[in-house]
């Protein structure tokens, strides 16, 4: 599933495509539901609306218009792609069975949402309700926001928490956007075992963890995200961060730091990878 870096990469690529001059002529809903029911009035809300900006909140994308926000989650296999304006008399690429939503733009282009496994979602938020929306209102701080995701914050919210720290930092109410891949990588660089109880984190370990989460996420964004399966940005570019994984997916291989054999274990339903020597 795309995590924060991948969603941020998609956001940035869409910002290049959907400039402030872009107008949605028509929003074509090609099936009534994906993971959830798509609002029946979606076209009426978006028709002839100018795209003001693209925002990211956690793993959600928000397409801002005067009429409100198109809310999108990529799910496991969701992606956006641009069908450029075709020359006169040339045939445009046909939409496929997994192309569930299409924005017809004023410049003659089409922006298509594809989701083969249909775990993504599309919804509409009325103006001024983005902070109270049921899917957004209980989300934790952004991990790259140094004013809200601080060492003191992480130390405070982890007190008396008995869950493994791996699942703790993947809890979107604690901090958003840190999924399975980047949680494993961040814990490795912080020197913290994924099995350790969150409530036993020291202030020093919290400092290492906050720093390593920021380091890993920023590095992944710089590398275009991780393209393990079928992730591509809005302009079709694949990520390269997977070539730099220190522990994720490397069960049984030698640790890059101490040469110990890396381990893996399912923790709260997700496979975790770590070094038993470097992480305590």
Out of 35, 50, 55, 270, the active site residue is: 270
131 domain residue, yes or no = no
| Per-residue pLDDT at 233 exceeds 60 | no
pTM of the model: 0.90
Q: Assign residue 179 the CATH number of its domain.
A: 1.10.8.50
Let me know whether 116 and 28 are in one domain: yes
Q: Assign residue 57 the CATH number of its domain.
A: 3.20.190.10
Position 236 confidence tier, pLDDT thresholds 50, 70, 90: low
Which has the higher per-residue pLDDT, 215 or 86? 215
**CA–CA dist 44, 29 (Å, integer):** 11
Please indicate whether residue 59 is annotated as part of the active site: yes
Number of domains composing the chain:
2
| Model pLDDT for residues 55-101, shown as the tens digit of each residue | 999 999 999 999 999 999 999 999 999 998 776 666 778 899 999 99
End-to-end CA distance of the chain: 28
Both tokens of 216, joined, read: 């890993």
**CA–CA dist 58, 8 (Å, integer):** 9
| Model pLDDT for residues 142-188, shown as the tens digit of each residue | 999 999 999 999 999 999 999 999 999 999 999 999 999 999 999 99
Out of 45, 59, 81, 114, the active site residue is: 59
Both tokens of 266, joined, read: 């399912």
Q: Residue 125, SS3?
A: strand
Q: What is the largest CA-CA distance in the chain?
A: 67
Containing structural domain, residue 160: 151-274
Out of 2, 143, 164, 194, the active site residue is: 2
User: Which bin fits 265, alpha (ψ -120 to 50), beta or left (φ > 0)?
Assistant: beta
Please indicate whether residue 3 is annotated as part of the active site: yes
**CA–CA dist 163, 197 (Å, integer):** 5
137 domain residue, yes or no = no
């Amino acid at each position: 599933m795309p995590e924060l870096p991948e969603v941020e990469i998609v956001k940035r690529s869409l910002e290049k495509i959907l400039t402030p001059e872009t107008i949605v002529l028509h929003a074509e809903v090609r099936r009534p539901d994906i993971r959830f029911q798509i609002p029946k009035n979606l076209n009426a809300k978006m028709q002839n609306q100018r795209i003001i900006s693209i925002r990211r909140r956690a793993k959600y994308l928000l397409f801002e218009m005067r009429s409100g926000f198109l809310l999108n989650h990529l799910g496991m296999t969701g992606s956006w792609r641009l069908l450029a304006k075709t020359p006169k008399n040339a045939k445009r690429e046909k939409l496929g069975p997994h192309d569930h939503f299409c924005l017809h733009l004023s410049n003659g282009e089409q922006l298509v949402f594809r989701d083969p496994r249909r775990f993504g979602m599309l919804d509409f938020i009325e103006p001024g309700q983005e902070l109270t929306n049921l899917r957004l209102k209980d989300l934790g701080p952004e991990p790259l926001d140094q004013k809200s995701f601080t060492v003191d914050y992480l130390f405070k919210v982890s007190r008396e928490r008995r869950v493994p720290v791996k699942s703790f930092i993947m809890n979107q109410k604690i901090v958003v956007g840190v999924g399975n891949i980047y949680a494993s990588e961040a814990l490795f660089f912080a020197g913290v075992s994924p099995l350790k109880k969150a409530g036993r984190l020291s202030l020093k370990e919290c400092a290492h963890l906050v720093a390593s989460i920021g380091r890993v996420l920023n590095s992944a964004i710089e590398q275009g995200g991780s393209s393990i399966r079928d992730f591509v940005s809005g302009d079709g570019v694949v990520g390269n961060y997977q070539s730099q994984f220190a522990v994720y997916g490397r069960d049984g291989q030698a640790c890059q730091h101490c040469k110990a054999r890396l381990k893996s274990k399912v923790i709260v339903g997700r496979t975790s990878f770590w070094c038993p020597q470097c992480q305590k």
